[in-house]
Homo-oligomer: A and B are copies of this chain.
Amino acid sequence: MDSVEKKFLKLGAENAPGQEGQQNNDVISLIGDKIPGRPVDFSHGDVDAFQPAPGALDNFVEGVQIGGKQAYTEYRGSKEIREITAGKLAAFTDSKIDPEKNLIITPGTQGALFLAMGSVISRNDKVAIVAPDYFANRKLVEFFEGEVVYISMDYLNFTSGAGLDLRQLEEAFKSGVKLFLFSNPNNPAGVIYSPDEIKEIARLAQDYDVQVIVDQLYSRQVFDGHSYTHLAAQNILNPENLITIMGPSKTESLSGYRLGVAFGSSKIINRMEKLQAIVSLRAGGYNQAVLKSWFHEPEGWMAQRIAQHQAIRDDLVTKLRLIQGFQVRATEAGSYLFPKVPELTVTIEEFVKILRIQAGVIVTPGTEFGPAFTDSFRMNFSQDHSAAVDAIERIGKVVEGYRK
């Protein structure tokens, strides 16, 4: 087997969110009948239930009307839009962002993540990632032939903070880790890193000269009783060692426009632009214009959207906890829940297929977020409220057929 074939064997995508259509259906014998109900796809948010933020399409059409200047921006993105966006993100994260040097517009936050990773790591570099964390993190390290060092996060038992094992993090940094990559709020667990955790990450990264990429995709959607700490605002960390990633694909429901931004280290941003030149040239030129409406939603729009999601979270958490043996920590920010299920007679991947076939409910197996999570699945609850609640009932019924 040649080396490129080996590499791609590790890059399986059939269990990735949204790829369920590629799964083989005929290997599982179902216990019990199909359970009727409105299908719910928890693998990602439902942009029909939560419509794109107002103004996006108008800005896109305006971009088309601007013409060539908008179609062919610099690879790092339109200067004008970088200026507008840098101002808004600097205010939001309480950090300094020079739109000429410190920001790049990318095809989605996935694009930002790929470019940032490819700009920092290479063969045999040690990269610390959190377990559990976003499914692509591990795959990215493997694609660039780095070495994954897992840092545990005890999200189920912690209440103040995400539960990152900071001693393990320091040990990893001591052992020569080059990059630490994590999402805040955590995807899939939906928890926020406490001010103390963020300060300690900053201090350790500074002390051990480790570069940090923080994925803050869901950082605008923070629920009542919680506060959010930006790593970019920590003065003890050299800003040239930090990249922050954000984008309007989640709370703002603009995923169909494929937009993200990375900001921070000018050195890494420069490399990201060079890499973008050979990966996809630029984020869609007309699409970039949609960023004009970002952080510029109508008065009250964001507050209402957050309140609606909090209400869904409350009902789902209550319902999930009623299923015998389920454990779940309530989401603090973002739209993910990561329940732990009781012992089953089937693997989590099989259970996920069964749920889809028997109950019309799509979730993502925990193993996408770390090899140890064989007893959990992820749900994005940005869905029609009542359909989501009904789907939990069906999950409860399916579980009974496969309980050990």
Q: Give me the interface of A with B, judged by CB distance under 8 Å.
A: 2-4, 7-8, 11-13, 16, 18-19, 21-22, 44, 46-48, 52, 57, 60-61, 63-64, 67-68, 70-72, 74-75, 79, 106-108, 110-111, 114, 119-123, 125, 136, 139-140, 143, 255-258, 271, 273-275, 277-287
CA distance A335 to B344 in the complex (A): 62
User: 6 tightest A-B contacts by CB?
Assistant: A71-B256, A258-B284, A256-B285, A11-B274, A107-B280, A4-B122
8 A-B pairs within 8 Å (CB atoms) are namely A7-B122, A8-B271, A11-B274, A12-B274, A57-B64, A61-B61, A258-B280, A258-B287
Chain B residues near A119: list those with CB within 8 A: 4, 8
Contact A57 B61 (CB under 8 A): yes
Contact B120 A4 (CB under 8 A): yes
Contact B256 A286 (CB under 8 A): yes
Chain B residues near A57: list those with CB within 8 A: 61, 64
Checking B46, B61, B258 against A282 with a beta-carbon cut-off of 8 angstroms, the contacting residue is: B258
Contact B107 A256 (CB under 8 A): no
Checking B18, B74, B122, B280 against A108 with a beta-carbon cut-off of 8 angstroms, the contacting residue is: B280
CA distance A8 to B114 in the complex (A): 15
Checking B48, B74, B280 against A280 with a beta-carbon cut-off of 8 angstroms, the contacting residue is: B280
Chain B residues near A256: list those with CB within 8 A: 63-64, 70-72, 284-286
Q: In whole Å, how far is A14's beta carbon from the nearest beta carbon of chain B?
A: 9
CA distance A121 to B110 in the complex (A): 23
Contact B274 A286 (CB under 8 A): no
CA distance A326 to B42 in the complex (A): 63
Chain A contact surface mostly:
helix
Contact A11 B277 (CB under 8 A): yes
Contact of A47 with B71 at beta-carbon distance under 8 Å, contacts A61-B57, A257-B284 already known: yes
Q: In whole Å, how far is A364's beta carbon from the nearest beta carbon of chain B?
A: 13
Contact B47 A13 (CB under 8 A): no
Number of copies of this chain that the complex holds: 2
Q: In whole Å, how far is A246's beta carbon from the nearest beta carbon of chain B?
A: 16
CA distance A287 to B44 in the complex (A): 19
CA distance A70 to B44 in the complex (A): 13
CA distance A22 to B274 in the complex (A): 12
Contacts A13-B75, A63-B256, A114-B279 known; list 19 others, CB within 8 Å.
A4-B125, A7-B122, A8-B274, A13-B273, A21-B79, A47-B68, A108-B281, A111-B279, A111-B280, A114-B278, A136-B278, A140-B278, A255-B285, A256-B285, A258-B284, A258-B285, A284-B284, A284-B287, A287-B287
CA distance A61 to B140 in the complex (A): 33
Checking B4, B44, B107 against A72 with a beta-carbon cut-off of 8 angstroms, the contacting residue is: B44
CA distance A273 to B75 in the complex (A): 23
Chain B residues near A122: list those with CB within 8 A: 2-4, 7
Chain B residues near A285: list those with CB within 8 A: 255-256, 258
CA distance A362 to B87 in the complex (A): 31
Contact B74 A11 (CB under 8 A): no
Chain B residues near A64: list those with CB within 8 A: 52, 57, 256
Chain B residues near A70: list those with CB within 8 A: 256
Chain B residues near A19: list those with CB within 8 A: 74-75, 277
Contact B18 A74 (CB under 8 A): yes
CA distance A21 to B274 in the complex (A): 14
